[in-house]
Amino acid sequence: MAAPRSIVVTAVLAVLITAGALVTAVLLRPGTPETAVPGAGGEPTSAGAASECGPRACQVLASQPVKGTTAELLADPDGRSAHVRFGGLGSDFVLESALASMDVAVRQDSLQCVDGQLAACLVHGDYQGGVIAELLVAPSDTWRQSDRLYFSDAGRVLLAQVAGDAAPEVVVVRHECASAAPAAPGCPRGPVLAEVFDLSGKQAGCTKRYSVPSQLRGWPDVRLSETDLRPCPTS
């Protein structure tokens, strides 16, 4: 199913690899808004490289158990230059987050992981009046970054078990009128809906419209099932 015109930030993320570092640029392009926007994968860095988040030492902001190990969110003291380390202190499997090059600050609540046969983690932070999130998945024993980022102009992106399969889904809460840019002028605070993607970035459907986000079941930890989903609005 093609992504609807009203889905989220009109950003195309260009991947520039310079001197071994991943740089992701967000280029606004009016008229083609997307909730899931092209992103970039990254290669694991060395433990030595991960000890520095930009010009400053990394700090562990959050950790979560997943796939028999630990995922740790690393950042500088201001929450920037985010990295995710798998395996704990001394591990050399570290991914530089695409959010780092966007100057997105992360916090202690910016990491969410869901374990299972197909595990996934989300790293998210505030961005242009909403929340932007990067997805990391482990289809086998190796973690990799998704090629999409997810933006919510209503401030909520999360992993949740929606379909009855072995993998979680990405749930993005957004205003139905989201247009050329986040928090577009004239966009009312409602209605809102939740849009659901599988881990490959394919749209699975949307919920009905709600007047305010708090009407979504379980808000802010939105709980959905397949029966809640229907085709997403196309305009």
Sign of dihedral through CA atoms 105, 108, 109, 113?
Answer: positive
From the number of C-beta atoms within 10 Å of its C-beta (0-12, 13-18, 19+), residue 191 rates as: middle
Spatial neighbors of 107 by CB under 8 A, at least 6 apart, are 61, 79, 125
Residues for the chain: how many in total?
A: 235
Low-confidence ranges of the chain (pLDDT < 70): 1-51, 177-190, 235
Q: Which two tokens stand for residue 11?
A: 């950003």
**What predicted TM-score, i.e. pTM, was given to this entire model?**
0.79
For the record, the structure tokens of 66 come out as 């997943």
Residue type, 44: P
What pLDDT score does 4 carry? 43
What SS3 state is found at 25?
strand
* Contact call for residues 111 and 84 (beta carbons, < 8 A): yes
Quote the pLDDT of residue 39: 53
Contact, 192 vs 212, CB < 8 A? yes
Q: Residue 41: its pLDDT value, please? A: 52
